[in-house]
């Protein structure tokens, strides 16, 4: 229904950013998702939706937290949806949004620092 | 020496974004750091620096990977340094950059989905 970047689904294996050089194609995809969440209103929307009762919220339950109009909030929700970090489901009059934790988990894994090299041999042992 | 956002040092405890509503102040700080890395060139720079021999690189060792001039690469490095995700150290003619994994680890933790509620009572048990 909505345009979604092929982030969470199309990249089952994603080596952490810090472990090996990122390809140009992958860097463009990732930058688009990061740009979608790199906004104070959208970060708060994500966090409000995720911590809302039942893990979902409609725009009517979100506007109260902001000095912004409904259409502006809807615009921000659309950006998040198109980036694949939230999903919307229409029920009656409203669209209910929930966070797609797998999309955020992928970003999270990407930013993890590499572990100490496990295969390093003890020096002088 | 460089301006750095108070991200990694000033926030020893950072509850994941998805667990509780994010404050307005915190959302602004986080959006600034995310914006700094939400760029294909800067993502590749981060990953090139981190995976370079010794975990550090100077601008002279990074320009070859891009169709960009040295000053443009330097500009992107400055954005990353000001966001606190890399640190630079001058040695002789060059500044050597390394990733600050603690800053990225904080972002990473923030995006982690909350675990299943451990305190949830069994229904009907």
From CA B18, how far away is CA A107, in angstroms rounded? 14
Distance CA B90, CA A43 (A): 36
Q: How far apart are CA A112 and CA A114, in angstroms?
A: 6
ipTM, two decimals: 0.78
Q: Does B99 touch chain A (CB under 8 A)?
A: yes
**Given this model, what pLDDT does residue B19 score?**
78
Q: A82: pLDDT confidence band, cut at 50, 70 and 90?
A: very high
Q: What is the pLDDT of residues B37-86, one digit of tens each?
A: 999 999 999 999 998 988 899 988 999 999 999 999 999 999 999 999 99
Do the chains contact at A99 and B30, CB–CB below 8 Å? no
Q: Which is nearest to B100 in space by CA: B86, B110, B90, B89? A: B86
* Structure tokens that stand for B32 in this block: 């600034």
Tell me whether residues A20 and B112 touch, CB distance under 8 A: no
- Which tens digit of pLDDT belongs to each residue from A33-77? 999 999 999 999 999 999 898 889 998 899 999 999 999 999 999
- DSSP string across B29-83: HHHHHHHHH-SHHHHHHHHHHHHSGGGEEEHHHHGGGSSS-HHHHHHHHHHHHHT
CATH of domain A24-110: 1.10.10.10
Mutate to test the interface with B, among A19, A23, A50 (most CBs of B within 10 A): A50
Does A124 reach chain B within 8 Å, measured CB to CB?
no
Contact with chain B for residue A43, Cβ under 8 A: yes
Give B80's Cβ-side CA count (13 Å radius): 28
> Do the chains contact at A35 and B35, CB–CB below 8 Å?
yes
B interface test, pick of A22, A28, A64, A105 with most B CB neighbours within 10 Å: A22
Could you give the CA distance from residue B22 to residue A84 in angstroms, rounded to a whole number? 20
């Amino acid at each position: 229904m909505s345009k979604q970047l092929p982030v969470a689904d199309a990249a089952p294996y994603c080596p952490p950013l810090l472990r090996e050089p990122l390809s140009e194609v992958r860097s463009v995809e990732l930058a688009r998702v990061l740009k979608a969440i790199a906004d104070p209103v959208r970060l708060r929307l994500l966090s409000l939706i995720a911590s809302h009762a039942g893990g979902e919220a409609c725009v009517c339950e979100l506007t109260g937290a902001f000095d912004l109009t409904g259409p502006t909030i809807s615009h921000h929700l659309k950006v998040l949806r198109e980036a694949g970090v939230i999903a919307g489901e229409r029920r009656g009059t409203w669209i209910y949004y929930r966070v797609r934790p797998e999309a955020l988990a992928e970003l999270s894994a990407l930013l993890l620092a590499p572990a100490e090299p496990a295969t390093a041999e003890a020096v002088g042992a």
